[in-house]
A and B are shown apart, each in its own frame.
Chain A
Amino acid sequence: MLRYSAFRIAAEGLRGNRGWTPTWRKAKPKPRYDVIVIGGGGHGLATAFYLAEVHGIRNVAVLERGLIGQGNTGRNTTIVRSNYLLPENNRFYEHSLKLWEGLEQSLGYNVMMSQRGVVNLFHNDAQRNAAIRRGNSMRLSGIDAELVDREGVRALCPLVDLDNSRYPVMGGLLQRRGGTARHDAVAWGFAHAADARGVDIIEHCEVTGLLIEGGAIGGVQTTRGEIRAPKVGLAVAGHTTTLTDMAGFPLPIETHLLQAFVSEGLKPLIDCVVTFGAGHFYISQSDKGGLVFGGGLDGYNSYGQRGTLREAEHVFAAGLSMIPALGRLRALRSWAGVMDMTPDGSPFICKTPVHGLYMTAGWCYGGFKATPGSGWCHAWTIAKDEPHPLNAAFTLERFREGRALDERGNGPYPWAQ
């Protein structure tokens, strides 16, 4: 196994960096595995890593149709937090955040985890009350939450226009343990650690069919041949329904676009993550210097992976309302991720109607922060054939049973979550 250390970096620097080798093998598919994970993004690679690390299941393949980490793992705004309202979500995301806090040590890979704080601004009494309620809910679940006043917001981010004539800032709800991580490094780190434990990461291997016999999964058909396994996990959020359509059961999921943008590189300007309570807008600064920001969904079903101008204009307008200084900047790049949107805004980590087929799906726009927690719970569910208490509420049946986890109280409209 290739190990990284300060000594190694110094030694390689002196030797012209000729000693580095690829951090994961280019594996060829074997005819049979104990578990196949479909999807080589953060969630799929994390599932494979925790299957090997926690449950000792090492005969695992991760199938990826392109290159690992090139889907939504590389198309997000890299924010990590656990500031939810509902206890089921809080417990799960807090477990995920704790995994993030030790992730670099677990993986032996620098994912550039930076707990720089996440502050959600509020602008009126009702929003303030909602923020207090959410903060109290977090603290009851053992999560850090602080209410900060206007001066607190000024200290955190002096550029915010506190006296905006339409949306003056009253304060914010701050989670200091929240922050950002390097999205690509998360995929590479999980790949590095999973590969070292014997997992085959098979790129350019698209799944074209599921082998289902007598209501149970037997394996998958791929562009590189048939691969058999008694257990298969789906980790392909954004495209989950294209695979479950092969299995023949419908899901409460619609696919929608979420855009994000990055500005030209700047000296340090914004040193936490700030969200605007009055419009759909949030912003942070990457370690490279670009401001990374985004807003809400484009608003109608799409697999397009490119955003619409209407939403781009809305994001820029909201950003200028919050931080007028952004008007002097140029946007460098924009992109859109395809989101599995569920009718209540909460995910699925569960068994499916097909025996031996599991999934982690429905991540809406919260998938990145969930990466280690999703993989951990998905691996548990696959290994034990039953959910862990942390993901027991994230089932497909919750709507039929009247147990929707409607974090925002928006009603059953996937595009409104």
Chain B
Amino acid sequence: MRIPCPHCGPRDEAEFAYRGDATKQRPAPDAGIEAFHDYVYLRANPRGWHEEWWQHAAGCRAWLRVRRHTVTHEIAAVTPA
């Protein structure tokens, strides 16, 4: 799999570190235990298009938001975080 980094161009996946589900937003500090439980533990886990964070750890070190298909591994969009 190659990820098209907006700063460096298409690069091998080995240069990137996976950082998980990008749809989760950290709740406000006083949002309560249910909101934090959802934020830390619950995941949509789609069989299909998935929004996720990747860091170009062995490249420009930028964090990227990637829209990737979890069956075909096709990448539809990459934007800077």
Q: Which residues of A contact B (CB under 8 A)?
A: 239, 241-242, 250-255, 299-304, 308, 310, 343, 399-400, 412-415
Q: What are 5 contact pairs spanning A and B, CB under 8 A?
A: A303-B70, A304-B73, A310-B14, A343-B41, A415-B20
- Extra 14 A-B pairs, beta carbons < 8 Å, given A253-B45, A303-B70, A343-B40: A241-B43, A252-B42, A301-B52, A302-B70, A303-B71, A304-B71, A304-B72, A308-B1, A308-B13, A343-B41, A399-B40, A400-B37, A412-B41, A415-B20
Q: Which residues of B contact A (CB under 8 A)?
A: 1, 12-14, 18, 20-21, 33-34, 37-38, 40-45, 47, 50, 52, 68, 70-73
Chain A contacts for B1, CB-based, 8 A:
308
Chain A contacts for B34, CB-based, 8 A:
400
The reply to whether B71 and A254 form a contact with Cβ atoms under 8 Å apart is: no
Chain A contacts for B72, CB-based, 8 A:
304
The reply to whether B73 and A302 form a contact with Cβ atoms under 8 Å apart is: yes
The reply to whether B70 and A252 form a contact with Cβ atoms under 8 Å apart is: no
Q: With A252-B41, A302-B71, A308-B1 as given contacts, are A413 and B20 in contact (CB-CB < 8 Å)?
A: yes
Chain B contacts for A310, CB-based, 8 A:
12-14
Which of B37, B47, B52, B71 contacts A300 (CB under 8 A)? B52
Bound: A400/B32 CA distance, A: 11
Across the interface, name the chain A residue whose C-beta is closest to B17.
Answer: A299
Bound: A125/B62 CA distance, A: 37
Chain B contacts for A343, CB-based, 8 A:
40-41
Chain A contacts for B41, CB-based, 8 A:
252, 343, 399-400, 412
Chain A contacts for B70, CB-based, 8 A:
255, 301-304
Chain B contacts for A304, CB-based, 8 A:
70-73
Chain B contacts for A252, CB-based, 8 A:
41-43
Bound: A253/B43 CA distance, A: 6
The reply to whether B43 and A299 form a contact with Cβ atoms under 8 Å apart is: no
The reply to whether A250 and B71 form a contact with Cβ atoms under 8 Å apart is: no
Chain B interface helix/strand/loop/mixed: mixed
Chain B contacts for A413, CB-based, 8 A:
20
The reply to whether A254 and B45 form a contact with Cβ atoms under 8 Å apart is: yes
Q: How far is the CB of A334 from chain B (nearest CB, A)?
A: 17
Chain A contacts for B40, CB-based, 8 A:
343, 399, 412
Of A241, A255, A302, A415, which is in contact with the most chain B CB atoms at under 10 Å from its CB? A302
Across the interface, name the chain A residue whose C-beta is closest to B43.
Answer: A254
Q: How far is the CB of A353 from chain B (nearest CB, A)?
A: 12
Chain A contacts for B45, CB-based, 8 A:
241, 251, 253-255, 301
Bound: A36/B35 CA distance, A: 34
The reply to whether B50 and A301 form a contact with Cβ atoms under 8 Å apart is: yes
Bound: A414/B19 CA distance, A: 11
Chain A contacts for B47, CB-based, 8 A:
239, 242, 255, 303
Q: How far is the CB of B25 from chain A (nearest CB, A)?
A: 15
Chain B contacts for A255, CB-based, 8 A:
45, 47, 70
Chain A contacts for B33, CB-based, 8 A:
400
The reply to whether B37 and A250 form a contact with Cβ atoms under 8 Å apart is: no
Q: How far is the CB of B55 from chain A (nearest CB, A)?
A: 12
Bound: A120/B18 CA distance, A: 28
Bound: A125/B8 CA distance, A: 42
Chain A contacts for B38, CB-based, 8 A:
250
Bound: A413/B33 CA distance, A: 19
Across the interface, name the chain A residue whose C-beta is closest to B36.
Answer: A400
Chain A contacts for B18, CB-based, 8 A:
299-300, 415
Among all A-B residue pairs, the 4 with the closest Cβ atoms: A252-B41, A241-B45, A300-B18, A250-B42
Q: How far is the CB of A196 from chain B (nearest CB, A)?
A: 35
Of B1, B21, B52, which is in contact with the most chain A CB atoms at under 10 Å from its CB? B1
Chain A contacts for B37, CB-based, 8 A:
399-400
Bound: A301/B44 CA distance, A: 11
Bound: A76/B52 CA distance, A: 27
The reply to whether B42 and A251 form a contact with Cβ atoms under 8 Å apart is: yes
Across the interface, name the chain B residue whose C-beta is closest to A244.
Answer: B45
Q: How far is the CB of A124 from chain B (nearest CB, A)?
A: 25
Across the interface, name the chain B residue whose C-beta is closest to A343.
Answer: B41
Chain B contacts for A242, CB-based, 8 A:
47
Q: How far is the CB of A244 from chain B (nearest CB, A)?
A: 9
Chain B contacts for A412, CB-based, 8 A:
40-41
Chain A contacts for B50, CB-based, 8 A:
301
Across the interface, name the chain B residue whose C-beta is closest to A314.
Answer: B14
